[in-house]
Amino acid sequence: MSHPLTANLNPEQAAAVELPPEHALILAGAGSGKTSVLTTRIAWLLSTGQCSPAGLLSVTFTNKAAKEMLVRITSMMPLNPRGLWVGTFHGLCNRMLRLHWRDAGLPETFAILDSAEQLSAVKRILKALNIDDEKYPAKVVQQFINGHKENGRRAGDVDAWDDYSRMLRLIYEEYEKQCQREGVADFSELLLRCYELLSKNESLREHYQSRFRHILVDEFQDTNKLQYAWLKLLAGSNNALFAVGDDDQSIYAFRGANVGNMHDFQTDFAVKHVIRLEQNYRSQGNILDAANAVIANNRNRLGKELWTSEPAGEPIRVFEAATDFEEAAFIVEEAQTLIREGNRANDIAILYRANAQSRVIEHALFTAGVPYRVYGGLRFFERQEIKHSLAYLRLIANPGDDNALLRVINFPTRGIGARTIESIQETARNAGTPLWQAACSGGAGRGAAAVKKFAEIIENMRSQATGLAMPELVDMMLDLSGLRAHYQADKEGEERLANLGELINAATNFVQEDENNLIAFLSHASLEAGDHQAGAHDEALQLMTVHASKGLEFHAVFLCGLEEGLFPHDNSMNDASAVEEERRLMYVAITRARRRLYITLAQSRMLHGQTRYAVASRFMQEIPQQLLKFLNRGYAPQGYSGPATLASKIKAPTPEHGLAIGMNVEHPKFGQGVVTDHEGGASGNVQVNFATAGSKWLAVAYAKLKVL
C-alpha cells in the first residue's frame, strides 16, 4: 500500500521519493514535476522518521525556489521551517560561516558585498595602486577574480605568464588583503571560504557529514566546479546525496555551470539509483515530439524521452517573414487574435535568443497599443548602454542639457570625480549658466584637464554630425564617445554591444519611416521609453530571452529569430559543445509552451544598420516535417524536408557570374546555403550563409557552387 504522501504521484515519481538512503540521480525532464518529487522526498524522510529536520540539507539555486520549497513542505506536515537547512549555495554557506566565523578567519560581524559594492572595492584597489583603469577595467578585474574563486583558486594559485596576467594576479592579491582587512566577503568568497573551512578542518567536516545524512540538490545540471566540490566534502561515506536535474536543460555554461558534473556524480559516488521522470504534465504531444527530436541530436546525453497522456494537439505554426519588421507585425497581430479568442495576455510569451531582438518587437507592440512586460530585464530604451548613448546624442543636439551631461561626463571613466563635478555645478550656479559653459572652461583642480577633454569630445561630435544621416551620426557617436570601446573591453559586454548595434538599426528605420532629424529621433526614443510597460498586476504580453524563460510555462509561445547566426548564435558556430548548449536552449524554449507554439524567422534582418540575409536555423531542420504547419506556404519549398530558405522574391541586380542575392546554392563541402552578398565581376566573390557552416566568402571561379 502506498504512503499517503506518494498516493497522487506517478510510479516513477513515487519510486524516486521512496528510494532507500543511498546516492541517487533523478533525471527530471521539463514539466515532469521535479519540485513535487523533491519536496515530497523531504516530507517523506521526515514523516517516516528517517531524518530529523536538523539532519537534512537541501540546496536550490534561487531564494524564490527555496521559499517555495519550504511552503510546500510545511503544507504537507506540521513543521517549523526554521529548523530546516534549505537554501541557495550562497545562503547555506553564509549560515555555516556565521556559526564558525572564527575557524573561517572572519570577524563575527562580517559584511557581504553585493556585485556593485564589489566593483567599487576593485576600483579602490586600482586607484590605490595607481593602475590604468582603461588597460585594466574594473569590471574585467572583477570577472577575473570571481572566475578564479568559482574554480577554487586563490590569488596564489593563479598562473601568470606575462605582464598583463601578473598584474591581474597582483590586483587579486591586494583585493584579498583589502577584504580581509575590512572584514567583508563577496558572493564568490562565501562558497570558497566555506569550502576551505570544511576541507581544512577535519573535525568540523566530520560533524556536518554526520549531521546531514540526507543532502538534496535541485537543478544539479547548473552546479559549477566549486559547488560540486563543496557537495563532495559534505557527502561522506554514510550520506545519501539525492541529485535532481536535467542535462538537457543545462544552459548556463557562461556562468560557470558544468553539465559534466552529472556524469561525474554517477562515477564519483558509484550511483546505483538513476530514475528518469519522463511524463510531462505541461505540453501537448506535438510540442514534446519536436523537443525530443531536436535534443536527440546532442551527443553524450544521459538520455530520456518526454511523453504525455495529453493529445497530440495543434501543429507547430511556422511563419517566415520577409523582414524582421514583418516578423514583429505578425507576432503582434497573432497575439491580439489569441487575446480576442479569450486567452490571457499574461499567458502568451514572446521569446528571443538575444536581448537586442526585443526592440523591433517592442516598437510593433507600442505602435499597436498592446500592453507588454519585459520579464527579467529592461525594455530596450531603458537599458544602461542605450541611455548613455541617448545622453550623448542629446548633448550633440543641445549641449545645455544638464541631465545628459551629468550622466556621461565621466562615462566611460575619464578621471572626473565627484568633487570636480561639484565644482562645475557651483560655477554654473553662480554664473546662472548651463553646466556646459562651466565645463568648457575646464574648471579648476585636478580634474580640470579631463573636463576640458570631455568638452572637446562633445564639440568634435557636434562638428562631425553636420550633414550626417542618422545611422552614421549614431555610429560616429559610439566611436568618439568611447562607448563602443568601453563595452568591447568588457568580457560581458557582448549583449550591450548588440544593443548599441540595434540603436543604429533604430536610427536607420526611423529615417526610412520619418525624417533624418536628430531632435525628432530623440523625441521618438523618449516616447517609446515612456511609461508604456504594463504595471505589475496588469494583463500584458510577456517578452523575455530564452534564458530568462527557464522554469516558466505559457499557453502560447512565439519563438522568434530562428536563423543561423542568431539561434544558434554566431559565437557557437566553431565549437561543437557550444552548439550543443544552443540546442539545449532550443529544447528549453520549445518546452515552455503548453498548447500552441509559433516559430518565426526573417529572410532579412537589420544588423548594425545594414540588411543581412539569413537561412533558417538548423534546429528547424531537426523538427520532423509532419509536426509543422507553414502559415505562409509560398515561402517554404514544396516537398519540404528542411528549413525554409531565403525566398526568390528578393530583388537585386544579378552579377555577371549569375549568383544573385537570395539564390539557394549547394557547395560540395559546406552543403546548402543562400547567397547573401557578392563583389567583383564574372570572376568575383560571393558570400554564402550555409545552414551548417555559417557565413563564408568564396571565389566564384573555384567554389563549385550549384544553383538549386
Report, as residue numbers or ranges, the catalytic residues. Answer: 34-35, 218-219, 249, 592
Cell, residue 119: 566593483
Cβ partners under 8 Å of residue 242, min gap 6: 19, 23, 24, 26, 38, 41, 214, 215, 216, 217
Cβ partners under 8 Å of residue 611, min gap 6: 604, 605
Separation of alpha carbons 386 and 380, rounded Å: 7
Neighbours of 257 (CB within 10 A): 21
Helix axis angle, 358-368 relative to 494-513, nearest 10°? 40
Give residue 366's Cα distance to chain centre. Answer: 24
Query: Could you give phi then psi for residue 37, rounded to 5 degrees?
Result: -65, -45
569-572: long-range contacts, CB 8 A cutoff, minimum separation 24: 569/353, 569/354, 570/694, 571/494
CA atoms within 13 A on the CB side of 162: 1
Cell, residue 462: 557636434
List, as one string, the DSSP characters of 244-289. Answer: EE-GGG---GGGT--THHHHHHHHHTT--EEEEE-B-SSS-HHHHH
Q: What is the 3-state secondary structure (H, E, C) of 367-386?
A: HHCCCEEECCCCCHHHCHHH
Listed residue (494, 473, 472) closest to 484, CA to CA: 494
Cα–Cα distances (Å) from 488 to 252, 328, 406, in that order, read: 22, 29, 23
Residue type, 599: I
Separation of alpha carbons 212 and 51, rounded Å: 9
Sign of CA dihedral 428, 432, 436, 437: negative
Query: Could you give phi then psi for residue 605, rounded to 5 degrees?
Result: -145, 140
Cα–Cα distances (Å) from 683 to 655, 656, 671, 678, 686, in that order, read: 10, 8, 22, 11, 10
Separation of alpha carbons 334 and 314, rounded Å: 15
Sign of CA dihedral 354, 356, 357, 358: positive
Neighbours of 8 (CB within 10 A): 11
Residue type, 151: N
Helices first, then strands: H and E counts in the chain: 27, 21
Would you call 221 helix, strand, or coil by DSSP?
helix
CA atoms within 13 A on the CB side of 288: 23
Strand partners, 689: 674, 695
Give residue 39's Cα distance to chain centre. Answer: 28
Specify burial of residue 78 (Cβ count, 10 A radius: 0-12, 13-18, 19+): exposed
Would you call 423 helix, strand, or coil by DSSP?
helix
Sign of CA dihedral 346, 351, 355, 357: negative
Query: Could you give phi then psi for residue 447, rounded to 5 degrees?
Result: -90, 5
- Give the max Cα distance, the chain: 88
Separation of alpha carbons 678 and 613, rounded Å: 12
Query: Could you give phi then psi for residue 492, rounded to 5 degrees?
Result: -105, 25
Cis bond leading into 624, ω under 30°?
Answer: no
Q: Taking a C-beta distance cutoff of 8 angstroms, is the pair 615, 630 a contact?
A: no
